[in-house]
Structures are given as C-alpha cells and as structure tokens.
Amino acid sequence: MMRSANYPESRSVGLLAAGGIIAPVIPPSLPLIIMGVAGNISIAKLFLGGIVPGLIMGMALIGTWTFLMRKENLEQHEKASKEERRAALKDGIWALLLPLIIIGGIRFGIFTPTEAAVVAAVYAILVSTLIYRELTPAKFYRVLINSGRATAMVMFLVGSAMVASWLITVAQLPQQLAVMLGPLTDSPRLLMAAIMVLVLLVGMVMDLSPTILILVPLLMPVVKEAGIDPVYFGLMFVINTCIGLITPPVGTVLNVVCGVGKPAFRTQSVEYCRS
C-alpha cells in the first residue's frame, strides 16, 4: 500500500520497524509478562503503566512521519467518507473490544493477567469463527501448531534463563555488580541512566526475551537497593530493549522488516533505514 502511494521505500521500511517495537510496550504484551515473572513485578501494574508510554511513542512517530512527508511530493487521495468510516468501525468493533476486555478485566480485578490470556484466547476464537467466519478448522489447526511452537520456544528460554540465573547467583555476580554500581546507588537517576545504557547496548545484539531473562535477575537487587520503583524499571527496561531491536549492528527487527518487504534498493536499504 505504501509503494502504491509512492512513499519512499527506505523511510517506509524504517517506519514499519519503528512502529513494530511499540507493540511490546502496550498491553497485552508478552515481554511485559516475562518481565513480571523474571523480576517478580506485578504484571497488572506493568500492563497499566505501559499504556501511556506506548501511546506517547506512537504519537511521536506519527508526528515525525508527518513532518518528514511534508517535503515529499505525494499523490493526494480522497479521504474516506463518514459512511465508509462508520462501516469500518462497525466491522472492526468486535476486534477493538479485545484489548478493552483485557485491560478492563485486570484493572477492575475481574481476572488475573494469566486468566486474561485465557479469556482473550476464547474471545478471539469465538469472534473469528462465529462473527467474522474467517477461522476455519484447517486454519485453527495451524494456529494451534504455531502457538505450541512459540510457547515451547519461550519456555525453553525461560528454563535456560533459570539455569543462567542459578549460575549467576552461585558466582555471586549480583554482589559484585552491587559493589561496582555501589557509588551510584545514592543517585537513583544516575544509576538508572547507567543501567539503561547497558540495556540498550545489550539489546543491540540480543533478542528481547533472553535479554530480560538474563539481565533482570541480575539488576533487580541493585535497583531495589537504590529505591527505584520496580514497575518504572521494568517499563524502561522493555522500552530500551525494544529500541535496541532496530539499532545497529544487528537490528533484528529492522533486518526482518527489510527481508519481508524486499525493498528494491537492497544495497542501500539497511544503511538508509538505520539512519
């Protein structure tokens, strides 16, 4: 769609990559759940705390894109009429209710985050099969297979991280890290800035889940000693790790988007997108 509208391919790929990293910040978010488990932080509070930062990131991206595209000579298309927008809203209302059910249910104590996942899955299945009629038995089987593979991968990472956490504890790395960062514990802001720089650097070369599962148990004792709010720390950790996913030298999300989009400029795309 962006190609047909004559948007610059390089900027379009960069926009999609930057927009993709906002999703882990806004609930329902798997990285926030992993953060809650790894750091013993309230998942409900992480969900509620991620709404505003995620919206701010989205609005900042919209503002930046609008500013950049003002200089481009793009073909103007007619805006959708009120009838078309009303029809689109009517068609998508069942899907839009899903995040409201999850966040509202957790916020008002109707169910826990774990139960919210079950409610969301059942709701999505019912809407897809009975209302939209897009989820056929064959597609449902593929969904189950893909979900099982994704869950197995995440649980393998969790199990590996637990082993790494045990080794870290036995090696007394938290105590050594506390001694190294000891001079900064009296200044929570400076300590937080140092940790976020570390997280960003690690996030440049590692994926999101392993970074959380390995670093959070190591850093959480120091964070608590400095009196930093664990929910604030968890959200900032996830945000900075997400930024690392589109930052060189690896840029996992950026390379995936470029690979899927297959931009024609191939030799210049990665360099231009990263800029």
pTM, two decimals, is: 0.73
Give yes or no for residue 203 having a pLDDT over 70. yes
pLDDT band at 178 (very low <50, low <70, confident <90, very high): low
Does 237 fall in a domain?
no
pLDDT at 169: 67
Any domain includes 20: no
Tell me whether residue 112 is in a domain. yes
Q: Does a structural domain hold residue 252?
A: no
User: With 0-12 CB in 10 A as exposed, 13-18 as middle and 19+ as buried, what is 42?
Assistant: middle
| 185: CB partners within 8 A, 6+ apart | 178, 191, 222, 225, 226
Q: Cα–Cα distances in Å, from 10 out to 21, 63, 72, 215?
A: 17, 18, 13, 33
Backbone angle region of 6, left / alpha / beta, with phi > 0 → left and psi within -120 to 50 → alpha: left
Number of folded domains in the chain?
Answer: 1
Specify the residue for token string 């998508």: 92
Mean of pLDDT over the chain: 82
Instruction: Tell me what pLDDT residue 53 has.
Output: 93
Task: Give tens-digit pLDDT for 245-270.
Answer: 888 777 778 777 877 776 665 445 44
Question: Does the residue 47 lie in any domain?
Answer: no
Closest CA to 184 of 218, 222, 216: 222
Beta strands in 82-225 (DSSP E): none
- Across 136-140, 241-245, 260-264, least confident range: 260-264
Domain housing 93? 81-135
